[in-house]
Amino acid sequence: MTKFGEIISINKPVLIDFYADWSELEPSLDTLRDVAAALGDKAKVIKIDIKKNEVLADALRVKGNPTFMIYKNGEMKWRQTGEQDANTLIGLVQQFV
């Protein structure tokens, strides 16, 4: 939890993908790589395994898989459960750059 607080409190947008390995619906790693490549150093993109981070997932009430969140300066700016394509995610993150 402490590390999560440090990650989300930076002064640039942080896109988080909460996922579970057991889900067939998990977005491909290629999608997140495309997002990270397009945003460069303007934003941070991370994946968090729900099963390995159950306390955090419970604290954030992550029920669906995948669940995406965007944080900036420690504040949640956007949240959506369900599959998202790279262009949508890039556009959403760019709103907070």
Phi, psi (rounded to 5 degrees) for 28: -70, 150
Q: What does the pLDDT read at residue 46? A: 94
Q: Where are the domains of the chain?
A: 4-95
- pLDDT for 83 equals 87
Low-confidence ranges of the chain (pLDDT < 50): none
Q: What is the pLDDT of residue 85?
A: 93
Angstrom CA distances, 41 to 7, 54, 80, 83, 94, stand at 14, 29, 23, 24, 12
Domain 4-95 annotated CATH 3.40.50.10260: no
Question: What pLDDT does residue 29 have?
Answer: 72
* pTM as predicted: 0.90
